[in-house]
Amino acid sequence: MIVKPEYKNVIDLDYMRSAIQKVLLSQGFRWSKTASKEKVELLFVKIPIHEDGNINFSAQKEISDRQRKVEEIKNSINIELSKITNTEVVYD
């Protein structure tokens, strides 16, 4: 992903990566199905804005931070679930 110079200070790359990934998945793209540049260029990605219409960088950052925390929690749950699943119970 290449951000145009005029957007470098107003677009959070983590937010944008996540937003693009979400749109791609909703459009039926999977890791095994390549999303060409031409197809990606046609996608619509929602970006938080202020009431005055300017891009809201802090809202993007907050959303991406929350998404990161959710992913960390999901990973922790999967690790614990794996431990439980692989636990052998021995009855006397």
Judge whether 57 lies within some domain: yes
Rounded to two decimals, what is the model's pTM?
0.73
Judge whether 21 lies within some domain: yes
Judge whether 78 lies within some domain: yes
**Domain total for the chain?**
1
* Dist. CA 23–CA 28, nearest whole Å: 9
Judge whether 92 lies within some domain: no
Judge whether 55 lies within some domain: yes
User: 9 is in which domain, residue-wise?
Assistant: 5-85
* Closest-CA residue to 57 (of 2, 9, 4, 5): 9
Region of 53 please: left (phi>0), alpha (psi -120 to 50) or beta. Answer: left
Judge whether 60 lies within some domain: yes
Judge whether 90 lies within some domain: no
Q: What is the per-residue pLDDT across 4-60, written as a single tens digit (0 to 9) for each?
A: 899 889 999 999 989 988 888 888 777 665 667 777 788 889 999 999 999 999 999
Judge whether 91 lies within some domain: no
